[in-house]
Amino acid sequence: MSNKAGGFSASVDAMYDRAVGLMDLSPGLAEKIRVCNATYTVRFGVRLRGAIHTFTGYRSVHSEHMEPVKGGIRYALAVNQDEVEALASLMTYKCALVETPFGGSKGGLCIDPTQWEAHELELITRRFAYELIKRDLINPAQNVPAPDMGTGEREMAWISDQYQRMHTTDINGRACVTGKPPHAGGIAGRVEATGRGVQYALQEFFRHEEDKAAAGLAGTLDGKRVIVQGLGNVGFHAASFLAAEDGARITAVIERDGAVTNEAGLDVEGLQAHIRRTGGVRNFAGGHYVEDGSSVLEMDCDILIPAALEGVIHKDNAARVKAPLIIEAANGPVTAEANEILLDRGCVIIPDLYANAGGVTVSYFEWVKNLSHIRFGRMQRRAEEARHHVLVNELERLSKNKNVAWTLSEDFKRNYLRGAGELELVRSGLDDTMRGAYGAMREVWHGRNDVPDLRTAGFIVSISRIAASYQAKGL
């Protein structure tokens, strides 16, 4: 039986059950895939400011059909077992959909990271990591965390170092965690990856006339009015790439202390700098301040990007949300009940298990890089450039010999001659992943007449792959 008790897990389960209802899966296997395999709870003390403080943390393993299992570690006061388990299950479905060879996991620590100094957070993080490492809940072959809300490169570097101190002879030690800074085994483009993935997902959606039509949209992303909820790492990168590279207009940003709107389009970088300086969006000169931020979710727009917490669109506000297209940059921003209400009124939702998979996709590249001990492109880059030079030199020789009236522009030569570095390769791999996964979802969405939405299609693709993997193991 699915978890019907309410809450985040129940919401993910309801979406899962909806897809399973359309599949030919034995009830036993459906149940095996749905349940969370294990959740480890740890309470540990750290001496800080002259007293012992006790912290509670979790690492949940949803599915080990592939190992290592993968998923971020969240630092927030609201972290709880149900949330961590729901997020771990989303990791399983997400990894299967974008074909990263991982099972699903997630971790969390109940802490408000803004209340502690960096050196205190380091002690807390190292102690939490120690507890998980000694139980192989952080391990390059078994369980590989990454950043999530409240954590970033810095915390991942501490975790990686902690693992390596405890496993001094493990040559693959750096692969125990992803999202590390570049100088500590990280990969170019990981910080922006989830936001970049949201952009690539939207670009792919806009390549399909039929899909745009389902949302009542047409044309390109150029000029589209976009509302972003949460200007954290994911929301910020998605918004700035969409504005700078696709010509979208960010007409509103919703943050903790309210929202700012500007029909002409907000300056996203300027707004982020303002938030960093003042702690919120209030008094931002480039827009109109609205105290009741959540009311802005209901404003007219073309695309709504919830990029912060789960459950922000729920049964009580869903009917008032006007966006024809929602792309879930956060995990679980639309509850199962809200999902039904939105689908009934024709809203198209690009679901979280696809939309925010850019992070884990680039984490996969980082993990492979760590295991292969070499930066992507290091062997090929100059060889590629040399071959391009041969072609350009030959074309130039021919044009001189035959007195041809054309020359290659300097701009063309600069772009063509340059071999791909790590960042370009990462972006290319991410773009390819997002296109491929969308294609798989879309085939089910349009190819079957009993699949009404992209989320159900995404779940069907994921669940079939996970089921195949369990069946191959003989289960």
Q: Among 32, 70, 94, 106, which one carries the catalytic annotation? A: 106
Q: Which is nearer to ligand GLU, 68 or 173 (CB)?
A: 68
Instruction: Compute the least distance from the CB of residue 115 to ligand GLU, in Å.
Output: 22
The position carrying tokens 């689908």 is 343
Instruction: Compute the least distance from the CB of residue 173 to ligand GLU, in Å.
Output: 17
Applying CB under 6 A, among 85, 131, 148, 161 the residue interacting with ligand GLU is: 148
Crossing angle of helices 410-417 and 381-401, in 10° steps, is 150
- Total residues contacting ligand GLU by CB under 6 A comes to 11
Q: Which is nearer to ligand GLU, 42 or 144 (CB)?
A: 144
Applying CB under 6 A, among 331, 335, 370, 433 the residue interacting with ligand GLU is: 331
CB 66 within 8 A of CB 465: no
Q: Which of residues 153-182 bind ligand GLU (CB under 6 A)?
A: 178
Residue 130, H or E segment: helix 118-133
DSSP count for the chain of H helices, then E strands: 16, 13
Sorted by sequence, the CB contacts under 8 Å of residue 123 that are 6+ apart come out as 46, 48
Q: Does 107 bind ligand GLU (CB under 6 A)?
A: no
Q: Which residue is nearest to ligand GLU (CB)?
A: 72
Residue 128, H or E segment: helix 118-133
Q: Which is nearer to ligand GLU, 98 or 226 (CB)?
A: 98
Piece of 65-73, 243-251, 274-282, 317-325 that binds ligand GLU (CB under 6 A) = 65-73
Q: Does 360 bind ligand GLU (CB under 6 A)?
A: yes
The residue type found at 207 is: R
Applying CB under 6 A, among 19, 30, 121, 146 the residue interacting with ligand GLU is: 146
Instruction: Compute the least distance from the CB of residue 94 to ligand GLU, in Å.
Output: 6
Sorted by sequence, the CB contacts under 8 Å of residue 217 that are 6+ apart come out as 206, 224, 302, 324, 325
Active-site residue, 315 included:
no
CB 142 within 8 A of CB 68: yes
Q: Which is nearer to ligand GLU, 189 or 359 (CB)?
A: 359
Applying CB under 6 A, among 68, 72, 113, 197 the residue interacting with ligand GLU is: 72
CB atoms within 10 A of CB 282: 16
The per-residue DSSP string of 264-327 comes to T---HHHHHHHHHHHSSSTT-TTSEEES-GGGGGGS--SEEEE-S-TTSB-TTTGGG---SEEE
Q: Does 143 bind ligand GLU (CB under 6 A)?
A: no
Q: Does 307 bind ligand GLU (CB under 6 A)?
A: no
Q: Which is nearer to ligand GLU, 84 or 146 (CB)?
A: 146
CB 107 within 8 A of CB 140: no
Residue 51 has φ and ψ, to the nearest 5°, of -145, 160
Q: How far is CA 227 from CA 85, 170, 198, 265, 390, in A?
A: 29, 46, 14, 10, 48
Q: Does 359 bind ligand GLU (CB under 6 A)?
A: yes
Piece of 26-34, 68-76, 134-142, 334-342 that binds ligand GLU (CB under 6 A) = 68-76
Q: Which is nearer to ligand GLU, 30 or 146 (CB)?
A: 146
Give the catalytic positions in this structure.
Answer: 106
| Contact residues for ligand GLU, defined by CB under 6 A | 70-72, 146, 148, 178, 331, 356, 359-360, 363
